Amino acid sequence: MSSVSHYENFPVASLLCPPHLRAPIVAIYHFARTADDIADEGDAPATSRLHSLQSLRADLLTQTRDPAFVSAHWSQVLSPLQQQIQAFALPVDLLLALLDAFEQDVVYTRDQRRYADRAELLAYCERSANPIGRLLLHLYGITSPQALAHSDAVCTALQLINFWQDISVDLPRGRDYLPVNANLADEIAFARRLMQQGAALVHQVPGRAGWELRLVVQGGLRVLDKIERMDSTRQRPRLYVADIALMLWRSLRMRPPG
């Protein structure tokens, strides 16, 4: 489950991904990437961004009800996705949750709002991050409540880590994810605890994907190490060769709880 530079912590046809799952993972990625770009990229006004996201939502719902439907505007994204929805019975509600989060991004940027508290921020992560993990677990046939809870913890932690490492990038774009009256050091510590709570997932995901997930977990923890020692409001932390080596070593040493 390696991360890619353009869509954080999303595994896209990794070498460690089973070949039969590459097509659905790529289809989900392109859907999420397209929606995220609508919300974030370019100079379009908020009303135009929201209209595009709502159009994408409407065509996804129409295509779900009528598989023969071909979207006039989003066929390159939705047609491959529909094939995978049918092939793997992908939960469409998780895809819609992602769209909810992207629409919220547009509204919050336009209104220059901040999250009132951690609970409100976590409610956003529940829609912006957790669906990705649940979709991947669905593809692997993992459905236990414990695994889903661990996945939610890892995905939310990764989302929070992205927020705290990207402060220097987000603030100029009108994005401030730090809740009102929150302390960044406390939020970093919370993200670390959350990642550690969910780390047991690496022992529940089979084969090569479980090993890749180890690197995702250790990568997130390593980024937190760096954020704690620098001012992320001024620059974004970077991982170097020595960091990768440390992540590999720590990944090898991960043991099942108990």
What pLDDT, on a 0 to 100 scale, did the predictor assign at position 10? 46
The answer to whether residue 243 sits within a structural domain is: yes
Please work out, in degrees rounded to the nearest 5, the angle formed at the alpha carbon of residue 54 by the alpha carbons of 135 and 148: 20
Contact 57, 96 (CB under 8 A): yes
144 & 239 share domain: yes
Contact 35, 102 (CB under 8 A): yes
Please work out, in degrees rounded to the nearest 5, the angle formed at the alpha carbon of residue 124 by the alpha carbons of 121 and 130: 115
d(CA 111, CA 108): 5
249 & 132 share domain: yes
What is the domain range of residue 57? 17-113
- Looking at per-residue confidence, does 59 or 6 come out higher? 59
Q: What is the mean pLDDT of the chain?
A: 89
The answer to whether residue 7 sits within a structural domain is: no
The answer to whether residue 178 sits within a structural domain is: yes
86 & 158 share domain: no
pLDDT (tens digit, 9 = 90+) per residue, 107-153? 886 556 789 999 999 999 999 999 999 999 999 999 999 999 999 99
What is the pTM (predicted TM-score) of this model? 0.90
The answer to whether residue 11 sits within a structural domain is: no
Residue 251, φ and ψ in degrees, nearest 5: -65, -40
pLDDT over 80 (residue 13): no
Contact 95, 53 (CB under 8 A): no
pLDDT (tens digit, 9 = 90+) per residue, 26-42? 999 999 999 999 998 87
